[in-house]
Structure 1
């Protein structure tokens, strides 16, 4: 965590949605986005759950501290402060999309022992997680080359502000408002979160440390999912993987329906269980 943020209380995140009654589900969106990410999910969950969707640090209507480095510790501290303020009584389902999956996983890892029930994660659901092993830790040359290409692409985006913002503006006009919010105001949280969280991560070890069920959901067309790194996580005993055909990185209707089925404990339409694969038709 940034040293100045260590010396003061972490800010509370903006809660964009708090609706429904029942078991609590907390939704954490990804980089350069807002809680609008889950617009297809909330109406499906709200009839049987209390659904809480937050804007992550520096995004949407949440605080953007001027001295923040947007490390994973910074993001997790703000999420933890927000969850504490909710005064929950029971463990909850924590859902993360993209960067939100890294934040959610670290939160779950840090709150797995000797934690009050209202701060504990009962189930972790990761949607489109950008899991990248360090290239130096990858033996397979093909996988190492793929992951290296991802990391170089992210470095290019960070280093070419005008190019990145121009392309984001074009893409943003094609998507619902709030799905992609990358502009001058959000540039610093974007580049620092990209560098300090996604490019430098401990996602695999964080998942391995958990003792709660972990469901990993991703679209077959998701350009941000690295198959080689994904296989390392799929082999873990407590991880179930759900591949959704004809879906990209965005939480569209197909992934939303699979996500709700997973949270409700029903079999998802396409599933790879740990240690094996069971392909099936796409959901919906």
Structure 2
């Protein structure tokens, strides 16, 4: 038996961006991606903010330790990395896609640390038990089967990544590596498919902004409807936008953050 206090400390995450001065903004990317997700956002923020973009475990040059890759595993790694940077509270937390789900759990656990939560293109999926409409159940069944197929077919997933990259305005926005595959696969199961994001958001007591595109293929209307009922949640819909943080999405996020940190 190895006591918890005898286990070696887990390594920190790669800090892909640490630039600018002012109120701190922390950026968390999504699954099978890296901090390049925010390439269009970072230049809009650095003139007036300290911007920190992290690469999650198994992504970019971050290590891929042998974990279950639950949402709490990701939250713990983000918290430990921020503390190494001297950051414990008073920051805006921005998450894209899976990163938004991790950010929601972070804010739910410690709202004294986060002053504002911004969720971009969050794949919020209600539990099947909460769905009564057959169409909603069918949609959720499709997503679950889709994720299961990606996990079971890494070669197909890699080809899909290449196709997305060919169309993306941000180079290499999707990365599927052999070293990070297990982290990606487990995160897909434990953070996205088995999520509790709606319950997490109910525990967040700071303002929450949800930015999404009307053309986002990962958007589930029922999940969005559920969180819109929360008093501290404001949704921002962009008609001509998909899942990617393109220029117009980046400008909207920057305006939200500028408003949130004005006078800070």
- Fold match, TM over 0.5? yes
Partner residue, 2:133: 140
Give 4+ residue runs of structure 1 displaced > 6 Å after superposition.
3-6
CA distance in 2, matches of 1:78, 1:94: 15
CA distance in 1, matches of 2:34, 2:130: 33
Partner residue, 1:170: 163
CA distance in 1, matches of 2:5, 2:245: 32
> What CA deviation, in whole Å up to 9, does each residue of 1:186-240 have, x standing for no partner?
3211111101110001100000011100000011111011011110001110000
- SS of equivalent to 2:92: strand
Task: State whether residues 143 and 229 of structure 1, in contact with CA within 8 Å, keep that contact through their aligned partners in structure 2.
Answer: no
Partner residue, 1:229: 223
Partner residue, 2:37: 37
Deviation at 1:5, TM superposition (A): 10
Unaligned stretches of 5+ in structure 2? none
Deviation at 1:41, TM superposition (A): 0.3
Bigger Cα displacement from structure 2, 160-169 vs 46-55: 160-169
Deviation at 1:8, TM superposition (A): 3.9
* Structure 2 residue corresponding to 1:131, chosen from 121, 124, 130: 124
Task: State whether residues 108 and 121 of structure 1, in contact with CA within 8 Å, keep that contact through their aligned partners in structure 2.
Answer: yes
CA distance in 1, matches of 2:231, 2:240: 27
Bigger Cα displacement from structure 2, 163-172 vs 131-140: 163-172
Task: State whether residues 125 and 214 of structure 1, in contact with CA within 8 Å, keep that contact through their aligned partners in structure 2.
Answer: yes
Partner residue, 1:107: 106
Task: For CA contacts below 8 A with separation 6 or more, give which structure has more relative contact order.
Answer: 2
Unaligned stretches of 5+ in structure 1? 267-284
RMSD: 1.9
Task: State whether residues 64 and 179 of structure 2, in contact with CA within 8 Å, keep that contact through their aligned partners in structure 1.
Answer: no
> What CA deviation, in whole Å up to 9, does each residue of 1:137-160 have, x standing for no partner?
212222222122111111111112
CA distance in 2, matches of 1:161, 1:89: 37
CA distance in 1, matches of 2:250, 2:220: 21
Q: How many residues align?
A: 257
Deviation at 1:249, TM superposition (A): 0.4
> What CA deviation, in whole Å up to 9, does each residue of 1:97-135 have, x standing for no partner?
0010011111111113xx5xxxx0000000000100111
When residues 5 and 186 of structure 1 are mapped into structure 2, their CA distance, relative to the original with a 3 A threshold, is farther
| TM-score computed with the length of structure 2 as normaliser | 0.92
CA distance in 1, matches of 2:6, 2:137: 36
Deviation at 1:87, TM superposition (A): 1.3
Alignment of 1:13-162 (within 5 A): 13-65=13-65, 67-88=66-87, 90-112=89-111, 120-162=113-155
CA distance in 2, matches of 1:31, 1:20: 26
Partner residue, 1:256: 250
When residues 196 and 90 of structure 1 are mapped into structure 2, their CA distance, relative to the original with a 3 A threshold, is closer
Partner residue, 2:182: 188
Task: State whether residues 89 and 114 of structure 2, in contact with CA within 8 Å, keep that contact through their aligned partners in structure 1.
Answer: no
